[in-house]
Amino acid sequence: MKDFKNKVAVITGAGSGMGRYLAILLAKAGANLAICEINEETLSETNNLLQKYPVNISCHVIDVADKAAIEKLPLLVKDHHGHIDLVFNNAGVTVDSPFEVMSEADWDWVMDINLQGVINSTRAFLPFLKARPEAALINTSSIFGMITQPNQSVYHTTKFAIRGFTECIAKELKNSNVQIHCVHPGHIGTNIVTNGRMNLREGEINPLQQILGNLIGIGNTQEELAEFFKNNGMHPSRASNIILKGVIKNRSRILIGADALLMDLSQRLFPVHYEKIFPIFMIPLTIMRNKKPLRE
């Protein structure tokens, strides 16, 4: 795909974080947008930020876990925009909890949004993408789709599955007009911890969080961790820019951040003991990470 001008892009999770900045950067590039979000207030905020760009925008308040709603979405977008060229399956949530104490409701909540949402969206939109001369499907996994940490069993399950699902359909569609991309962000400054759920007993904070807490001085409450996570990750505008460059260059796997590159390399070289390497690098990476937004 050479550029995004006059393309129609569907973005889930567009109310904040990478979804919001994907929308902004695509609008700047001349793409028309169907922005999707469960939170009507944050969706409206994103829409307001897009008004200065001369592009066509439709807003869709939708729960990606609602299969029936997702099945109807492509026709709604096509009726408004005429066609669909790009789909960014970006919405995601997490639960920070040991598996043995995680409720079935929490497990299902993450599975339905992170995994079934991506699968249902892909199934719904793929015929519309295949009808275009060139198109792209972009599914967001995570570096946690390559490595594991304690207390993230359901998140890992969904992100490993998204990686496998996306890489499989990329092979199935390799001779088609549809580019398939799997995105693996490292630490991006988003609201995922703020909007997530936590159920940890004393002493169950994962080792990496504990080390960061001891060395940097952050607490272990959800509020403290959420503030640290958002303020010390790569700015989501930069992450979104990397994604869009990856789409233009047709990179099937898009790694975001030095931490993602390091974790990917370490699990290849040290598949059993990679977690012992992380603490050595995470502090300098956290300090040096570019937390500033892209310049206008």
Which residues form the catalytic set? 155
Structure tokens at 39: 């939170």
C-alpha 176/C-alpha 181 separation (Å) is: 14
Secondary element (H or E) of residue 85: none
Give yes or no for a contact between 161 and 182, defined as CB atoms under 8 angstroms apart. Answer: no
Write the single-letter amino acid at 108. D
Distances (CA, A) of 250 to 12, 81, 174, 243, 247: 21, 24, 12, 10, 5
Contacts of 212 (CB under 8 A, 6+ apart): 218, 228, 282, 283, 286
Sign of the torsion angle spanned by Cα atoms 167, 119, 190, 242? positive
Neighbours of 239 (CB within 10 A): 26
Structure tokens at 230: 């958002």
Strand partners, 87: 10, 137
Please name the residue ranges forming H helices in the chain: 17-28, 40-50, 67-81, 104-110, 117-130, 153-172, 207-216, 222-232, 236-248, 258-269, 278-288
